[in-house]
Chain A
Amino acid sequence: MIEVDQITRFYGDHLAVDNLSFKVKKGAVHGFLGPNGAGKTTTMKMLAALLPPDSGRVLIDSVDVSENPREIKKKIGILLETPPLFMDMEGREYLEYVARLRTVSKKDLKERVDFVLEKLGLQNFENRLLGNLSKGYKQKFGVAQAIVHNPEIVILDEPTSGLDPQAVMEMRELIRGLKDEHTVLFSSHLLREADLICDDVTIIANGKLMVSAPINEIQNSLSEKTVINIVTKSLSEDSLALLQKYPFVENALVEQKSDGFYIKVLADSLVDNREEISRFMVEQKLGLLEMTQEKPDLEKIFFEVVKRNER
């Protein structure tokens, strides 16, 4: 089990992680979500003993990471955003080298590398130079190095980033498959991804914890809410302020595009409020072009918690 206990980390004057606490259950796939620059990578580095926190502590199986980082590193496999590959090495050669660095014995080496190559479907690439592989396969070798020493915990930082749709699907399948043998913490800014893969999620923004809970619990807590998507020709700040004063409006996010203003309203009610909103739009002469209502998915939850933090 991973326990993150009030960790804070600065880069110079910039506060990257702010008093963050959450727990990752043993054997779970835990999604670590947040917008770009939220502090996900910094947190993951602190979990893997790559970076010490300025304050607070990370406990893995009740052992403080900063007290014995070398022992902790044997228990963790990490893939940061860029797969750490030696481009002049062949696939098997690379995995054997990494496994030896991570104290896999010579006796178990072949068996372990064979297992990982098979698990990730990389048998046909074991004699290929890593520098000549496609991005998808490089990413797979990135995951392979993270699990080659059979760690208890696997940390993956945006593992599907930059992959083509086929490779994304394969990677998601792979992460789900890791659950049998490892505790997986993986970060993403694609929330639908977490929805598909994770048991629990932690959402952070600006280095602060927004929410950390089982994914179905979060969805249930927000099941009483609806999202109304509105498109108008014009929008003034006054009109937006008035809209936000409606009692059922929890939050409203505006994006200006070439063909109008796209407004997302998170409504704290299951009642259909579209009639009231459309009347308001007409009164304000905003030029209502479109309006739809939907149940919130994880994307909306994310939008809601992040905006709540900004207010």
Chain B
Amino acid sequence: MIYLIFKKELKSFFKSPLAYVLAGLFSLVMGWIFFNLLYSFVENIQALPQGPGGGELQFVNHVVIKLFGNLNFLLLMICPILTMKMFSEEKKDQSIDIYFSSPITDWQLVLGKFFASFLMGVFILSTTFVFPVIAVMAGVEDYSFSISGYLGLFLNLACYLSIGLFASSITRSQIIAALFSFVIILGFWLISWVIQLSSNYFLVEILKQATMVSHYENLVKGIFGTHSLIYYITFTGFWLYCSKKSLESRAW
């Protein structure tokens, strides 16, 4: 059943012009950013301090980390758009009754839609897969940063989409769903800014674990801990559970 719903959602997504407009705009903006980062790196390469890792480390610091920072920021914009209609549109036109009157569980419905939206996100991100290829062709040998960066990006994508699905499940309005998920995701980002302002060690450590931003930063730098993986799984699971609960509220 999950696969059935997954397939239907993907088909619907690729039938609509939204898929191609989003992917096109995303690749255009990211291409422009990548070009500027590369250009600025090449222009200033002589002026950059030479550390123990040499030019490759400088490339990671000045191009890869910044690129993944920008990719993550754009995901903040794109994920609410990907998920906004998932439940809200079906609630509005009451087509969601098809699922409620069928012998499927709410988990199957939520997971089918989640996996479909995840693949939509991967499709949009796939337009940037050419960047590491360019970097390797330009002589960068260590592409492990790209792998861990994309891993972090996919995990962030799952978090953002799970929030988006929840937002879509609580309203009949796509706009409200998009705005609501944007605000929640932004809220988690704001935590990382609060960290920079606080001098309380314990508060900082707790907040660091609570926001995906610090976990993502570690992944982009190639630091991968099981606590990050547990964080992402718990975070995504929590919001998917909230979506399921929200669907169950029809019986209240």
Contacts and interface: CB of A to CB of B under 8 A. Distances in A.
Contact of B101 (A73, A85, A87): A73
A82 B1 contact: no
B12 A86 contact: yes
Which residue, of A77, A101, A102, has the highest number of chain B Cβ atoms within 10 A?
A101
B8 to A, nearest CB: 6
B102 A80 contact: no
Contact of A86 (B95, B104, B251): B95
B90 to A, nearest CB: 8
Contact of A97 (B8, B15, B93, B250): B8
B15 A51 contact: no
Contacts of B104: 70, 101
B103 A88 contact: no
Nearest to A70: B103
A139 interface: no
A84 B95 contact: yes
Interface residues of A, number: 26
A50 interface: yes
A73 B102 contact: yes
Contacts of B197: none
A97 B105 CA distance: 16
Contacts of B8: 86, 97
Given A51-B250, A88-B16, A98 B103 contact: no
B43 interface: no
Given A82-B93, A87-B93, A50 B100 contact: yes
Contacts of B135: none
Contact of B102 (A52, A71, A85, A102): A102
A188 interface: no
Nearest to B108: A101
B141 interface: no
Given A82-B93, A87-B93, A97-B4, A71 B98 contact: no
Interface in A26-85: 48, 50-52, 70-71, 73-74, 76-78, 80, 82, 84-85
A50 B99 CA distance: 10
A103 interface: yes
B37 interface: no
A254 B185 CA distance: 59
B96 interface: yes
B4 A101 contact: yes
B220 to A, nearest CB: 37
A50 B98 CA distance: 11
A82 B4 contact: no
A260 B15 CA distance: 59
B103 A103 contact: yes
B97 interface: yes
Nearest to A71: B103
Contacts of A87: 93, 95
Interface in A99-143: 100-103
A89 B11 CA distance: 10
Contacts of B16: 88
Nearest to B8: A97
A84 B98 CA distance: 6
A89 B98 CA distance: 14
A97 B101 CA distance: 13
Given A84-B97, A145-B98, A100 B4 contact: yes
Contact of B98 (A48, A74, A98, A103): A98
28 contacts: A48-B101, A50-B100, A50-B250, A52-B251, A70-B103, A71-B103, A78-B97, A80-B94, A80-B97, A82-B93, A82-B94, A84-B93, A84-B95, A84-B96, A84-B98, A84-B101, A85-B93, A86-B98, A88-B15, A100-B4, A101-B4, A101-B98, A101-B99, A101-B103, A101-B104, A102-B103, A103-B103, A145-B98
For the complex of A and B, 9 pairs with smallest distance between CB atoms: A84-B97, A101-B102, A70-B103, A73-B103, A82-B94, A84-B95, A84-B98, A78-B101, A102-B102
Given A50-B250, A87-B93, 16 more contacts: A50-B100, A50-B251, A70-B105, A77-B101, A84-B95, A85-B93, A86-B8, A86-B98, A88-B12, A88-B15, A89-B12, A101-B1, A101-B4, A101-B102, A101-B104, A103-B103
